[in-house]
Amino acid sequence: MEAHGISKTELKKLMKEAVISVLTERKDLLEDAVSEAILDMKLGLAIEEGDTGEYVPESEVLSKLMD
């Protein structure tokens, strides 16, 4: 088996072409990734907004869950 070398420039070009090809043929992948990122950001913002620094004892939380 013969090994062929590939230059960094050629590899970069091939990788770029592959990524562009995937993103143009499978737009749903990019849309899903962006959608998930937005949802993650919204969740993080909601958590920060709801964090008042006041905590409830674990026993109180568990008693509410058992009701």
- Per-residue pLDDT of 5-28, as tens digits, reads 889 999 999 999 999 999 899 999
Residue type for position 39: L
Residues 6+ apart with CB under 8 A from 29: 22, 23
What confidence tens digit (pLDDT) does each residue in 33-56 have? 999 999 999 999 999 999 888 889
How does DSSP classify residue 5? -
Residue-range domain boundaries for the chain: 8-50
